Amino acid sequence: MREVALFLFFLATLPLQANEWKDLAAYQHAKKSTLLHFVHSQLDLSETTNSLPSILEEKVECVQVDLDQDVKSEDFLQSHLAQWELAQCPAFVLLNEKKELVKTFTYIPRDTVQFADDIVFALAQFRDLSSLRGKICNKEAVGIEVMQALSLAQDLCREDLLAEIVKSGVALVEEESALVECYRIAERFHEEELVREIQEIVGKRGSAEIAAKLALIRYQALSQRFPHSFKALQPLKEFLEQFQEHKSSVVWQVEMVLAQHYTERVQWEEAYDLALQAVRRAPVEKQGDILHTLDYMKGLKELAQK
């Protein structure tokens, strides 16, 4: 099937020439992929941008749209501007033949041929991504394909698809590093139900190493969301309660993170006790640094008691 794409290009009306940017009517009737270029009225196109239609030829319908005038009269554009998140103008929005968002591009003067190649490559990536999303949704994919889908979504700057892919595909993921990445995305988008689902998957494995990574990710996420609350400490405390007697090398690292947190909040006694536990667990090559930290904490503790 011939690759088609719709790329809307919002800009001021310019004199028509062969293979030039078409007006909004061309977008409304286009049956192939389209490149939209958004600009404000009276903004001239650079020579580089002007030559895009002739390079892309029949691969992509190149349409120019005046952000000040055309958008007001086009319901489809108005309803999708928020989703496209145009950070600045001029900008490009690439749509496939189904009018699905492929990728948005910030306008940067660049080599025209390379830019045209980027557009065609983005269409190919989106086609691959759509195929993988279908397999993931039907539970026909394997873990590596879930990660490939996440990678493609990130390449296309489609942040809006990341959580959806993880929701549909996390049960298919087995590799620990992949589970950690899925968890990171769930925390990033505040998907609490998804966070709990991944925690349950990890909990069944009984791995202190991966449980520690999840606890630290959640601690960092909660610290940003609740900077003045003790809520952020809960995942670290729960990890230590579960793995307190575990011989894993990661336990002392979590203890030191928690000790550092207490130090920053001038809770010297709690910080000192945790660092003392950590030095007993830590490998020999790390004990010197922790002992130095202990001396520092002891000094601050004694100073605070005076």
Q: What's CA 174's distance to the chain center, in Å?
A: 21
Q: Residue 89: pLDDT above 90? A: no
Of 1.10.3470, 3.40.50, 3.30.310, 3.40.30, the CATH number of 5-108 is: 3.40.30
Structure tokens, 172: 């298919």
- What pLDDT, on the 0 to 100 scale, is given for residue 62? 87
Listing DSSP states for the chain in one string gives: ----EEEEE--------TT--B-HHHHHH--S-EEEEEE-TTPPPPHHHHTHHHHHTTSEEEEEEETTTTGGG-HHHHHHHHHHT--SSSEEEEEETT--EEEEEE-----HHHHHHHHHHHHHHHHHHHHHHHHHHTT---HHHHHHHHHHHHHTT-HHHHHHHHHHHGGG--SHHHHHHHHHHHHHTT-HHHHHHHHHHHHHHT-HHHHHHHHHHHHHHHHHHSTT-GGGGHHHHHHHHHHTT---TTHHHHHHHHHHHHHHTT-HHHHHHHHHHHHHHS-HHHHHHHHHHHHHHHHHHHHHH-
One-letter amino acid identity for 14?
L
Compute the Cα dihedral for 154, 158, 163, 168 and give only its sign. negative
b/e sequence 173-209, b meaning 16+ C-beta within 10 Å: beeeebbbbbbbbbbebebeebbebbbebbeeeebbe
Q: What percent of the chain has pLDDT over 90?
A: 42
Compute the Cα dihedral for 185, 189, 194, 196 and give only its sign. positive
Whole-angstrom Cα distance, residue 244 to residue 251?
Answer: 7
Q: List the single range of 10-24, 94-108, 118-132 with lowest mean pLDDT.
A: 10-24
Mean pLDDT, rounded, for 271-286: 89
- What pLDDT, on the 0 to 100 scale, is given for residue 200? 92
In DSSP terms, 65 is beta-bridged to 38
Q: What is the CA radius of gyration of the chain?
A: 27
Q: Residue 228: pLDDT above 90? A: no
Mean pLDDT, rounded, for 73-78: 65
Structure tokens, 119: 């557009």
- What pLDDT, on the 0 to 100 scale, is given for residue 258? 93
Answer with the residue of higher pLDDT: 19 or 181.
181
Q: Residue 237: pLDDT above 60? A: yes
Answer with the residue of higher pLDDT: 64 or 300.
64
Q: Residue 53: pLDDT above 70? A: yes
Q: Residue 284: pLDDT above 50? A: yes
In sequence order, the 6+-apart residues with CB closer than 8 A to the CB of 48 are: 109, 110, 111, 112, 115
Mean pLDDT, rounded, for 278-301: 86
Place of tokens 């002992």: 291
Residue-range domain boundaries for the chain: 5-108, 227-306
- What pLDDT, on the 0 to 100 scale, is given for residue 263? 86
Q: Is the peptide bond before 90 cis (omega within 30 degrees of 0)?
A: yes
Q: How confident is the prediction for the chain on average, in pLDDT?
A: 84
- What pLDDT, on the 0 to 100 scale, is given for residue 2? 44
Mean pLDDT, rounded, for 249-254: 90
Mean pLDDT, rounded, for 186-194: 94
Q: List the single range of 19-33, 97-111, 151-165 with lowest mean pLDDT.
A: 19-33
Encode pLDDT of 208-222 as tens digits. Answer: 999 999 999 999 999
Q: Residue 77: pLDDT above 80? A: no
pTM: 0.80
Mean pLDDT, rounded, for 139-151: 96
282 with 252: CB under 8 angstroms? yes
Mean pLDDT, rounded, for 272-294: 89
Mean pLDDT, rounded, for 129-138: 97
- What pLDDT, on the 0 to 100 scale, is given for residue 304? 67
Q: What's CA 266's distance to the chain center, in Å?
A: 35
Encode pLDDT of 1-44 as tens digits. Answer: 444 444 444 433 333 344 577 777 666 666 789 998 887 766 65
